[in-house]
Amino acid sequence: MRKNKILCKSLKTVETLGAVNVICSDKTGTLTRNQMTVTDYMIGLQTHDALHAPGLHKDSKSLQQLSVISSMCNAGEFDASTIKLPIAERKVNGDATDQAVLRFAESMNPVENLRKFYRIVFRIAFNSKNKFMIHVIQSQSEPQEGTLLTIKGAPDILLPRCTSFIAPDGSISELTEERRLMIENIKNKWSSQGKRVILLAKKPLDQVRFDPTVQPREYEEDMMGRAMGNLILVGIVGIVDPPRAEIPEVVRILRGAGVRVFMVTGDFRLTAQAIAEQCGILTSQGNDVDDVSALSDDHLEFQTGNSDDEKHSLKTRRRGLVVNGSDIPNLDEAQWDMISQYEEIVFARTTPEHKLRIVKELQSRELTVGMTGDGVNDAPSLKAADVGIAMGSGSDIAIEASDMVLLDSFAAIVEAVRYGRVVYDNLKKTICYLLPAGSFSEFWPVLTNVVFGLPQILSSFLMIIICCFTDCAAATAIAYEKPEADVLTRPPRNARKDRLVDWKLVIQAYGFFGVLETVLSFTVSYWYCQRQGLRFSDQWFGFGALPPNMDLDTQTSILNTASSIYFVNLVVM
C-alpha cells in the first residue's frame, strides 16, 4: 500500500475495502483535477469566449461591471510571493471556483486596484446548502454612493430571484420571461458540456437599519432577506474542470471487479451528468437515463402493463439514474430499494446531509459502501461509510474523518481494492494451511494414545517445533503471496454474510487435508514400526506395555524414529 502511495490507518480498513461493492465519489478534486478555468461568459444576453474579455473590457460597460463583481464577491486571494508571475501560474488561496473567477477578473483589470477602490463591509460565505456567497461592498473614495450587495452562486437558485439585468450598454433592463428562458438555455447548454455555471448579480442597498460591526447577526439576516429578490443580473460564467485522465480506466476496472461507482456532487444536474459521462460513470444516454419519476409505482406499472414478470424484466434492464438532491428527502423505502438496483447513479445538487443519508440508505440494504471526498462537507459521509477515502490534497477535516488517504491519485483506489481482496484471500489460505497440520494432525496422536492405548506417535516436543517454527515460516510466506490473476474480475464478497472461517473452509481443512495428512502420517510411521519388528497388533490397546522379545530401549528408539517420520511427513505435506 505504501508503494502505491496509499496511507491506510488500519489493516482492518484494507480488508473491508476488499468487500466494497459501491463507491460513492465526490466530483470536484476527486474525479476532476480541481483546476478550474473560466472559458465562457455571458453579459447582456450575449455569450463570449473568455479569452476575448481583456480586449473587450475597456469598451464594454457591462463587462466592467462583471469584472467588479468577479473581483469583489470573491474569497480568493493572490499569493504575494507569486504576484509577478503570469496569471495562470500564480498561486491563489481559496476555493477552486473562486480561483477561476479571480483569474478571469485579473485578466481584465488588476484585482488589487479594484480592492483598493472598494472595501468589503460584510461577508456571508458560500455554503453547500444556500449555494451562494454574499459580499456587501462600499466605495472607499465615494461612500455617499451607498452600499452594494454583490452575490455569486448557482444559477438555478439565483436566477429566479433576478428581476432585471445589465444590458450591453451598462443600463438596467427588465428581465422578461423570454429573456429568462434564453438565459436558462445558455445555462443548460454550458452545463451539458460539463461546465460549472456561476451567476453574478448585485443589488443596491438603501435604508439599512443595522450596523454590521455592532449587530452582525441582525445584519446577516437582513442581507439574506434582501437577497431573496429584486436582484440585478450582471452576468454568468462557464467554468471547466476537466476530469483526471486516469478516471475512465479506473471506473472500467472497478466495474469489472463488481464495484459500482456512483457520483455524489453539489453541482447542477446537467453538469454532473456530463462529467459522469466523460468519466465513464454514466454510460447510458438520452432516454436511457432515468430520473426520480421512474421510481414511482405508477410509472413502473405504466411501463410494464402491471405484470410481475415484466416488472422484474424492467428492473434488470435498469442502468442509469440521475437524482437531484432536492428529491432525496422525499424518497421512501421502496424508492430507495429501487435506487439500490441501478448500476450507474449520479446524485446532483447534494448537501452534506444528503450525502450522509445516501451512505446510510445504501448500507441499510446490505451494501458495503466506500465514500471518497476531499472537502469539509464530505467529512460526515466519510465518517459514516464503511470505508472513508480522502484525497491527499483535500482538507484536514476530510483526512481526519477518513479511514484511508490516497496521497497521489484516485487511480490508487484500484490497488487498494486489489490488496483488500488479497488480504482476505491470503488470510483464508493461511488458516486453511494451519488448521490441518497445526491442530488436527497433532490432536489425533494424543487421542489414539488416550483412547486406543497406542504410543503417542508424535512427541510433544515435535508438536512445539511445528507450531513455533515450521508453521510460522510457511504461514508467513502464504500471507505475503501475490494476488491471484482473477482478483479483480470476480465480484466482491458479502461482508455481512461471508465469514473468514466458514463450513466450506472447515470441511476442506479438516475433512480433506486434515484426514489425508493424518492418515498418511500414521500409515508411514506404523509401517516403519512394523518393518522394525514392532507390530501394530502389539501396540493396539497396549497402553505402554512392552511387546514380547523386545526391550524398552529398542522400543523407545523405534518409536522416536517413527515420531520423526510422522513429523517430516506432516511438514512436507
For CA atoms 385, 268, 394, 132, give the dihedral sign: negative
pLDDT at 311 over 60: no
3 state SS of 318: coil
* Three-point CA angle 253, 195, 76, nearest 5°: 105
Answer yes or no: are the C-beta atoms of 41 and 54 closer than 8 Å: no
Cα(438)–Cα(435) distance, rounded to whole angstroms? 5
Given a cut of 50, whether residue 393 has pLDDT beyond it is yes
**Residue 553 is among the residues annotated as catalytic for this protein:** no
Res. 298: pLDDT tops 70: no
Q: Is 572 helix (H, G, I), strand (E, B) or coil?
A: helix
Q: Is the pLDDT of residue 310 over 50?
A: no
CA-nearest of 413, 391, 34, 395 to 243 is 34
* pLDDT computed for residue 318 by the predictor: 62
What pLDDT does 500 receive? 81
CA distance 187 to 235: 11
Q: What percent of the chain has pLDDT over 70?
A: 95
CA distance 492 to 21: 6
Q: Which of 35, 123, 26 is nearest to 377 (CA)?
A: 26
Give the mean pLDDT of 127-146.
Answer: 84
Place of cell 507390530: 535
Sign for the pseudo-dihedral over CA of 286, 289, 291, 295: positive
Tell me what the mean pLDDT of segment 523-528 comes to: 88
Q: Taking the CB of residue 116, how many other CB atoms lie within 10 A of it?
A: 11
Q: What average pLDDT score do residues 359-366 get?
A: 93
The predicted structure's pLDDT at residue 314? 44
All three cell numbers of 68, joined, read 467588479
CATH architecture of 421-572: Up-down Bundle (1.20)
102 confidence band (pLDDT: 50, 70, 90): very high
| Bridging pattern class, strands 22-25 and 369-373 | parallel
| pLDDT above 70: residue 76 | yes
pLDDT of amino acid 125: 93
Would residue 188 be called left, alpha or beta, if left means φ above 0 and alpha means ψ between -120 and 50 degrees? alpha
Average pLDDT over residues 278-306: 71
Nearest to 530 by CA among 422, 474, 431, 457: 457
Phi, psi at 542, each rounded to 5°: -80, -30
* pLDDT value, residue 297: 59
| Res. 438: pLDDT tops 80 | no
* Reduced DSSP (H G I as helix, E B as strand, rest coil) percent helix, strand, coil of the chain, to 5: 50, 20, 30
Domain residue extents for the chain: 6-32+243-410, 37-240, 421-572
- Lowest average pLDDT, out of 143-147, 235-239, 389-393, goes to 143-147
Spatial separation of the C-alpha atoms in residues 409 and 407, rounded to whole Å: 7
Q: Which pLDDT score is estimated for 167?
A: 93
Topology annotation, domain 37-240? Calcium-transporting ATPase, cytoplasmic domain N (3.40.1110)
**Is 273 within 8 Å of 436 (Cβ atoms)?**
no
Mean pLDDT lowest among 59-63, 117-121, 158-162, 438-442 = 438-442
Q: Which residue has the higher pLDDT, 573 or 493?
A: 493
The amino acid occupying position 283 is T
* Helices 471-479, 412-435: inter-axial angle, 10-degree rounding: 160
pLDDT at 303: 46
d(CA 362, CA 365): 5
Q: Long-range contact list for 496-499, CB < 8 A, 24+ apart?
A: 496/366, 496/368, 498/19
CATH label, 6-32+243-410, candidates 3.40.50.1000, 3.40.50.10490, 3.40.50.10090, 3.30.70.120? 3.40.50.1000
Q: pLDDT band for position 62 (50/70/90)?
A: very high
pLDDT at 335 over 60: yes
Query: 51-60, 321-330, 409-418, 542-551: which has the minimum mean pLDDT?
Result: 542-551
Residue keyed to cell 472461517: 501
Distance of CA 377 to the CA centre of its chain: 13
Q: What is the mean pLDDT of residues 124-134?
A: 90
Question: 84-88, 395-399, 538-542 — which is least confidently predicted?
Answer: 538-542
Which residue is it, cell 421512474?
Answer: 294
- Counting residues of the chain whose pLDDT is more than 90, the rounded percentage is 48
Q: How confident is the model at residue 483 (pLDDT cuts 50, 70, 90)?
A: confident
Rounded to an integer, the average pLDDT of 277-295 is: 85
Say what the pLDDT of residue 143 is.
Answer: 67
Residues in the chain: 573
Catalytic residue, candidates 26, 156, 378, 403: 26
Q: What CA–CA distance (Å, rounded) separates 544 from 529?
A: 15
* DSSP string over 337-385: HHHTT-SEEEEES--HHHHHHHHHHHHTTT--EEEEE-SGGGHHHHHHS
**Bridge partners of residue 369, in order along the sequence:** 22
Cα 530 to chain centroid distance, Å, stands at: 66
- Of 256-260, 270-274, 421-425, 496-500, the one with minimum mean pLDDT is 496-500
The answer, yes or no, to whether residue 521 has pLDDT greater than 60, is: yes
* Element (DSSP H or E) covering residue 426: helix 412-435
Per the model's pLDDT, the better-predicted residue between 28 and 469 turns out to be 28
Average pLDDT of the chain, as a whole number: 87
Strands 289-290 and 320-324: parallel
Distance CA 255, CA 488 (A): 9
Quick one: 425 exposed, middle or buried, by C-beta within 10 A (0-12, 13-18, 19+)?
middle
pLDDT, tens digit (0-9, with 9 covering 90-100), for 408-429: 888 889 988 998 888 888 888 8
pLDDT-based confidence at residue 257 (cuts at 50, 70, 90): very high
Helix (H) or strand (E) segment spanning residue 263? strand 260-264
How far lies 470's CA from each of 238, 425, 463, 568, 573, in Å?
Answer: 66, 21, 10, 10, 12
Lowest mean pLDDT among 229-243, 287-301, 331-345, 488-502: 287-301
Looking at residue 166, its pLDDT comes to 94
Predicted confidence band at 286 (pLDDT cuts at 50, 70, 90)?
low
Strands 404-406 and 6-8: antiparallel
